[in-house]
Amino acid sequence: MQYFAYGSNLNEDHLRKYLDTHGIKLDTELVGRHAILHNFRMRTNYYASSHRAGACNIEPAHDQNVEGVLWTITPAIQDALRIKEGYPRCVIKRSK
């Protein structure tokens, strides 16, 4: 499956260390390619419960883009990433 990574999840070493702490060993290099998510912007309006701090989030935004990496991941990696990002209990602080 494909996963659009941005922020700290762009760093393969960081991602490997996180996955390793959750019992997921990557025996091979992650396969990824540059990707652009059109009509979205990155904001720091998300509270990541996993590290108890603010984190980046993406939201729709006309004529803006978010650059990242499209990783090919397994369902086990997806599950670990969801835990890392606080899914489904993330808290989004919307601007008024």
The whole-number pLDDT of residue 38 equals 97
Q: How, if at all, do strands 91-92 and 31-48 pair?
A: antiparallel
Instruction: Tell me the C-alpha to C-alpha distance, in Å, between residue 49 and each of 4, 22, 75, 89.
Output: 20, 16, 21, 8
Domain that holds residue 65: 2-92
- Indicate the number of domains in the chain: 1
Whether 93 shows a pLDDT value over 60: the answer reads no
Q: What is the pLDDT of residues 24-63, one digit of tens each?
A: 887 777 778 999 999 999 988 776 666 677 778 888 999 9
